[in-house]
Amino acid sequence: MPSISKKQVEHIAKLARIELTEEEKEKFTKELSSILGYVEKLGKADTSKAKIIAQITGLENVMREDKQQKTENRKQKVKKLLKEAPSKKGDYIKVPKILE
């Protein structure tokens, strides 16, 4: 079982900027050693038959097929949009300047 020293606990506490009493240092030395032992056990577990999964909900992203619009249809939509725009310049919607 891996163990962690009191000096390492002090170093971790310093990095975390927390102050520990002597009792807490002893307590965390034992607890962190126990945690490391558990992680070592997990590392030895046989995962060769485990399925690799990205998510467990079973939900899927529903996507429509990407189809190119006909040019005529697009032009009509642009004209309609420009007609409703408060300000325009050529085939573009003119918006107020926000950056200098």
In a domain, 62, yes or no: no
Q: What is the pLDDT along the chain (100 residues), one digit of tens a residue?
A: 678 999 999 999 999 999 999 999 999 999 999 999 999 999 999 988 888 888 888 888 888 888 877 777 777 888 888 889 999 888 889 988 888 7
Domain that holds residue 40: 6-44
In a domain, 38, yes or no: yes
In a domain, 87, yes or no: no
Domain count, the chain: 1
Burial of 72 (0-12, 13-18, 19+ CB in 10 A): exposed
Distance CA 17, CA 1 (A): 28
Q: Report residue 29 as tokens.
A: 């030395």
> Which residue shows structure tokens 């079973």?
58
State residue 94 phi and psi, 5-degree precision: -90, 130
Task: Identify the CATH number of the domain in which residue 13 sits.
Answer: 1.10.20
Q: Which of 67, 1, 66, 55 is nearest to 31 (CA)?
A: 1
In a domain, 19, yes or no: yes
Helix intervals (H) in 1-100: 6-15, 22-44, 71-84
In a domain, 21, yes or no: yes
